[in-house]
Amino acid sequence: MTKPSIREQVGEAEWAVRVDLAAAYRLVSLFGWDDLVFTHISARVPGGDHHFLINPYGMLFEEITASSLVKIDLDAKILLDTGYPVNPAGFTIHSAIHEVRADAGCVLHLHTLDGTAVACSREGLLPLNQTAQLVIGDLAYHDYEGVAFDHAERPRLQKDLGAHSVMLLRNHGTLTVGQTVSAAFTRMYFLERACSMQVRTLSATREPYPTDPGVLAKNEMIGKMGLAAASEALVWPALLRKLDRLDPSFRS
């Protein structure tokens, strides 16, 4: 007897999240943000069961499909076997946020070169340009406590993130939260781009040109209100069209 496909074993709402999450993994690879098989993007399965989807451990992000994503609970126990293992330690940071943030439909964590460089700098992200100014009003920081194996770190991470949706993990990397996959991805795009702009700016000049304080306040407010909304209506549909042109297998 043929084993049912993953598509046949899940509902429409879960399948839609699987497709979006697989797309996010492909886009992270496309933008050069991946770190071999390490780092993670997790998404909440619709419903009240506190189930989540995460990458199969050992697959490159460019290989991930909707069907290969693994369904787990808050303790990283596999609930629907897709034939792949997961890295329980990799879910420590994600589970901390999903546990206390009802709006955390997706948590995205990276170890990029520029994002980590800014996370390692004492001053953190500076409001040097429009992109950074749109991020900084929603930005939190969490001090490094070593490779995230210890669940005892979770309360401190939860406290540091608070109600923010963007975070620099000191000496570690970047993190964003979104009610949807698209919101988390768009926030990460702006955070990563702001970090890259800062690295380039500070390598080019010792005295960046300042922005008027009134403009800073205005842009911070726009960033808090506008990034997630723009992602749903404008950014995500365009990104999915791009992936469909390049390789639509993420939908399988």
Query: Which is more confident, 111 or 48?
Result: 111
Q: What is the pLDDT of residue 85?
A: 87
- The percentage of residues in the chain with a pLDDT greater than 70, rounded to a whole number, is 99
Q: What are the structural domain ranges in the chain?
A: 6-251
Q: What is the pLDDT of residue 5?
A: 87
What is the pLDDT confidence band of residue 215, given thresholds at 50, 70 and 90?
Answer: confident
Q: Is the dihedral of CA 72, 90, 185, 227 positive or negative?
A: positive
Strand 70-72: give its sheet, edge to edge: 78-80, 70-72, 52-54, 40-44, 106-110, 173-178, 166-169, 139-142
Backbone angles phi, psi at 229, to 5 degrees: -65, -40
Mean pLDDT of 131-158: 91
What is the pLDDT confidence band of residue 229, given thresholds at 50, 70 and 90?
Answer: confident
CA distance 52 to 79: 9
Evaluate whether 91 touches 40 at the Cβ level (below 8 Å): yes
Rg (CA), the chain: 18
**Domain 6-251 has what CATH class?**
alpha beta
CA distance 69 to 42: 10
CA distance 105 to 116: 24
Encoded amino acid at 83, one letter? G
User: 17-49 pLDDT, tens per residue?
Assistant: 999 999 999 999 999 999 999 999 999 999 888
User: 174-191 pLDDT, tens per residue?
Assistant: 999 999 999 999 999 999
User: Is pLDDT above 80 for 223?
Assistant: no
User: 52-83 pLDDT, tens per residue?
Assistant: 999 999 999 999 999 999 999 988 899 987 78
Query: Which is more confident, 236 or 147?
Result: 236
Q: What is the pLDDT of residue 206?
A: 83
What is the pLDDT confidence band of residue 222, given thresholds at 50, 70 and 90?
Answer: confident
Between helix 113-120 and helix 181-204 the angle, nearest 10°, is 70
Q: What is the pLDDT of residue 1?
A: 54
Evaluate whether 6 touches 22 at the Cβ level (below 8 Å): no
pTM given for the model: 0.94
Evaluate whether 162 touches 140 at the Cβ level (below 8 Å): yes
> Which residues share a beta bridge with 176?
108, 166
Mean pLDDT of 7-14: 92
